[in-house]
Structure 1
Amino acid sequence: MVNKWEKVPKEALEKDKVMRRSLTYWEDAWRRLKHNKLSMLGLVTIILIFMTAVFGPMFSKFSYEDQNLDFGNIPPRMEIYKVTDSDYLYIHAEYKAILVSEKGELQELLEPLKTDLAKGQRVYNIDGREVVLDFSNVKKLKKNPELKRFEVIVDGETRDIYKKVWNKTNIFGTDAHGRDMFIRVLYGARISLLVALMATIVNFFVGVIYGGVSGYLGGRADTIMMRLIDLISTIPLLLYVILLMVIIEPGLKTIILAMGLTFWVRMARIVRGQSLSIKEHEYVLAAKTIGASSRRIIMRHIIPNAMGPIIVSLTMMIPSAIFTESFLSFIGLGVSAPQASWGTLASDALGGLRTYPYQLLFPAMAISITMLAFNFLGDGLRDALDPRLRK
C-alpha cells in the first residue's frame, strides 16, 4: 500500500518565516512617525526654534533693549551710492544720509552742513567732496509717479544706485528706536515658547489629573466637577486678563496666570472621556479586585493608557497658546516695552507698515512657522499613536 502522506521537514516550515524583534507601542509609534515627512519637518523646525531662541542671543553683540536712534528703521536690504572708493551712502526713507561700507555695515549718521527745506536739499561734506541730497521731487510725485524720490549729487554729478547690499550690522533691520529686529524676534520666541511651556505644564498636571479623577469617580462627583469646568469656560480669556490686570500689573505673569486658569479645561474634558472608557476595561476591574486604591488605578492604569490622545492634544494646544499670547500682546495686554514679544513686535510695526513692511514680516513669519510646525507634528502624532493604523 502506497503511503500518500509525507511529514514535512521542520526546515521547510521555517525557511519562509520572517524573524524580527517585537516592537513596543512607543517604538512602533516612533517608527511610524519617522515615515511622516511633514511631521519630521515640524519636529526639526521646533528643535531649531528652541535652540535658536535659547542660544542665539548669546552670540549677538546686541540686546533686545539696546537703542541707537541714529540707525532707526534701517531695512535688511539697502541701496547704496558710491561717493569715493571707500565711502558709500545709504539714503534713509526719512531723507537722512548714513555712511556704510561696501559690504553693508552701518558706520555713521552724517550731519548735514546745510539744510534747505524750501529747496528740498541737504548738503554734506565727505572727504572734501560736496554731496547734495536733493529731495525736491517729493511734492511732485503725486502728479508724476515716474520721478525719483531723491537724487544724490556728488561734486555736481548725479550718482545712480551703485548696488544693493544686505545689512550686515542688523540682518533683520532695526525698528523705530534703532533696536536690532533679529534679537527682538529671538527674545519674542523665548516669551512665546515660555508661555507655551507653562500652558503645557498646566494642561498636563491639572487638566489630565482633574479629567482622570472625574471620569473614574463618575456619578455625582463627575457631574459637580464637570459643571465647575462649564462655569470656568463660560468666561472669556480676555476678561480673565483684564480682571487680573486690575489686581496685578500687566505683563507676562498676567498672561501666564490667565491661561493657567482656562487652558486646562479642554484637556480635562478629553481625559475624562478617555477615563470613562478605560475604567471599564478588564485590567482596571482586575486591579479593583485585588484591592488597588483609586489613586493607584488612576495613576498607573488609566492615565498611562490615555497618553496617546493626551500627547496629541498637548501638541495641538501649544500653537493655540502661542497665538493667544501673541494676540493679547498685539492688543496691548501682554508684555510691556522694552521687552519683545511677537505680538508686540507686530503691533509696533503697524504704524509704519507701508514704509517699513519688514518690521511686520519677520514676527508674522515667526508666528506662522512655529504654529505650522506644531500642527504638522500634532497631525503626525495623531496618526502614529492610533493603534488602529498600525501596519
Structure 2
Amino acid sequence: MTLENQTLQHGQPAWDSPSPDPAKAPAAQEGPTLDEFRRLTAAEQDSDFIAMESKTYLQDAWSRLKRNRLAMFGLIVVSLIILTAIIGPMVSPYAYDEFSSSKNAMPSAQHIFGTDKFGRDIFTRIMYGARISLSVGIAAAMINLVIGIVYGGIAGYLGGRVDLYMMRVVDILYSIPTMLYVILIMLMFGANIISIMIGICVSSWVGMARIVRSQVMSLKQQEFAMAAQVMGASTMRILVRHLILNSMGPIIVTVTLMIPQAIFTEAFLSFVGVGISAPQASWGTLAQNAKQVIDTYPVQVIWPVAAICVTMLSLNFVGDGLTEALDPKKK
C-alpha cells in the first residue's frame, strides 16, 4: 500500500497520527505515605516466622524410630518379655523346679501352657527360661561391646603396623566358628552360664572391633578431630569424646543384633544337650526336654520355640529400625 492510499483511507498522513492525551495517561506509581507505616502487633510479628523445634541427634533418631511400626512393635514385645522374665517367676504360684502329680497335662486354667513329664508348670519355666536366655544374650553383647570398642578403637586410631598386626589377630579368630569356641570352653569349665558367655565372647567381639575400627579411621581424618589434636587434646579424649561417641550409631545397631545371635547360640547348645543342665531352664533346655515327648505331646515344644522365634524377630525389627533411625543420611 502506497503513502497516498494510506492518506486517503485515514484522512490524514500516516506520520501525522494523533499523540496520546497527557491528561488521560495513567498516573505514575507513588511510594507509600507516612500514614501507611505503623508498628506491627505481636501476633503479626509471630506470623512472619515459622517456628521449628530444635532437636538433638538422639531426639531426631527417636522421632524417626517412632514412625517405624515394625521397630516399635518389636520394642514393645521385647519390653514385655523382659518385664515377664523379671516379675513373672516372682508372682507365679509355682516354682520352676516344683514337681506335681499332674504330668504331661494339657493347657488349662491351672496350667496355662500345661505341664511337662515331671509335672512342672511349663509357663513358669518359660518365664524363668527367659531370664537365663536374655541374661546370656545381653551380657554377651555388653562384653563384646567393651572389648570391640577398645580393640577396634586402638587399631583404627594408631593405624600403621599396629593396625596391621591387630587386624591379623582378628582375621584368625574370625576364621574359627564361634560354636567351636563355646564347646571347647564348656568342656574345660563345665556346662554353665559363665562358660557359655565366655565361649560366645571369645570370637563374637571381632565383628564389633571391625566396625569400630572402620568408623574411627574414617572420623579421625575429619576436621573436628584434627582441630582437637592441634588444640592439644589428649589421645584418650580425642578417641573417646570425638571418635567413639560419633560412632555410636553403628555400634548401637551392632549390639542390638548381637543379642539374638547369642540367644540362638545358647538355645542351640542347650537343645543338643551341651548347654545349661537341669534343673535350670533356658528356652533351649525346654525345647530339648519337649523333644523327648514330641510324638505324644507335640504342644510342649511349641512354647519354647515360639518364645525364641518371637524374641529374635522382635530384636531384629528393633535393629533394623535403629539402622534407619541412626543413619544421618536419612534425615
Q: Shorter-chain TM-score category? A: 0.7 to 0.9
Q: Give 1:5 deviation, angstroms.
A: 7.3
Q: Give 1:311 deviation, angstroms.
A: 0.7
Q: Give 1:9 deviation, angstroms.
A: 9.3
- Taking the aligned partners of 1:41 and 1:295, their CA distance within structure 2 comes to 39
Aligned: 1:28 with 2:60: yes
Judge conservation of contact 1:326–1:343 (CA < 8 Å) in 2: yes
- Within the candidate set 301, 304, 307, 1:363 is matched to 304
Check 1:8–1:36 CA distance in 2 against 1; reply closer, same or farther (3 A cut): farther
Who is 2:121 aligned against?
A: 180
- Taking the aligned partners of 1:29 and 1:324, their CA distance within structure 2 comes to 31
Aligned: 1:238 with 2:269: no
Who is 2:267 aligned against?
A: 326
- Taking the aligned partners of 1:251 and 1:54, their CA distance within structure 2 comes to 20
RMSD of Structure 2 on Structure 1 (CA) = 2.0
Who is 1:373 aligned against?
A: 314
- Within the candidate set 43, 46, 71, 2:102 is matched to 71
- Taking the aligned partners of 2:111 and 2:45, their CA distance within structure 1 comes to 70
Check 1:5–1:256 CA distance in 2 against 1; reply closer, same or farther (3 A cut): farther
Q: Give 1:4 deviation, angstroms.
A: 7.4
Structure whose residues are more often strand by fraction? 1
- Taking the aligned partners of 1:56 and 1:261, their CA distance within structure 2 comes to 32
Judge conservation of contact 1:203–1:267 (CA < 8 Å) in 2: yes
- Within the candidate set 253, 265, 271, 2:212 is matched to 271
Moved over 2 A (4+): 1-17
- Taking the aligned partners of 1:10 and 1:346, their CA distance within structure 2 comes to 78
Specify every segment of 5 or more residues in structure 1 that has no aligned partner in the other structure, as ranges. 77-166
Who is 2:150 aligned against?
A: 209
Q: Give 1:16 deviation, angstroms.
A: 4.7
- Taking the aligned partners of 1:8 and 1:272, their CA distance within structure 2 comes to 63
Who is 1:105 aligned against?
A: none
Who is 1:351 aligned against?
A: 292
Amino acid at match of 1:74: A
Aligned: 1:284 with 2:225: yes
Aligned: 1:389 with 2:322: no
- 1:94-148: CA deviation from partner (whole Å, max 9, x where unpaired): xxxxxxxxxxxxxxxxxxxxxxxxxxxxxxxxxxxxxxxxxxxxxxxxxxxxxxx
- Taking the aligned partners of 2:103 and 2:174, their CA distance within structure 1 comes to 44
- 1:333-385: CA deviation from partner (whole Å, max 9, x where unpaired): 21001110111111111121122111110001100110111111111111111
Which structure has the greater CA radius of gyration? 2
**What percent of counterpart residues are identical?**
49
- Taking the aligned partners of 1:75 and 1:354, their CA distance within structure 2 comes to 14
- Taking the aligned partners of 1:301 and 1:273, their CA distance within structure 2 comes to 15
Who is 1:18 aligned against?
A: 50
- Taking the aligned partners of 1:367 and 1:361, their CA distance within structure 2 comes to 10
- Taking the aligned partners of 2:155 and 2:132, their CA distance within structure 1 comes to 33
Partner SS state of residue 313, structure 2: helix
- Within the candidate set 57, 62, 75, 2:89 is matched to 57
Check 1:15–1:214 CA distance in 2 against 1; reply closer, same or farther (3 A cut): same
- Taking the aligned partners of 1:30 and 1:251, their CA distance within structure 2 comes to 38
Judge conservation of contact 1:229–1:265 (CA < 8 Å) in 2: yes
- 1:286-329: CA deviation from partner (whole Å, max 9, x where unpaired): 01101112111111010000001111111111111111111111
Amino acid at match of 1:40: M
Amino acid at match of 2:270: S
Judge conservation of contact 1:241–1:333 (CA < 8 Å) in 2: no
Judge conservation of contact 1:233–1:262 (CA < 8 Å) in 2: yes
Amino acid at match of 2:273: G
Q: Give 1:248 deviation, angstroms.
A: 1.1
TM-score (norm 2): 0.86
- 1:27-57: CA deviation from partner (whole Å, max 9, x where unpaired): 1111111111111111111111000000101
Amino acid at match of 1:289: V
Q: Give 1:171 deviation, angstroms.
A: 1.0
Q: Give 1:203 deviation, angstroms.
A: 2.0
- Taking the aligned partners of 2:211 and 2:244, their CA distance within structure 1 comes to 11
- 1:253-298: CA deviation from partner (whole Å, max 9, x where unpaired): 2101101212111011111111111111000000110111211111
Q: Give 1:197 deviation, angstroms.
A: 1.3
Judge conservation of contact 2:257–2:315 (CA < 8 Å) in 1: yes
- Taking the aligned partners of 2:286 and 2:183, their CA distance within structure 1 comes to 21
Judge conservation of contact 1:251–1:333 (CA < 8 Å) in 2: no
Amino acid at match of 2:67: H
TM-score (norm 1): 0.73
- 1:224-258: CA deviation from partner (whole Å, max 9, x where unpaired): 11111112122222221232133212121210110
Partner SS state of residue 84, structure 2: helix
Amino acid at match of 1:19: A
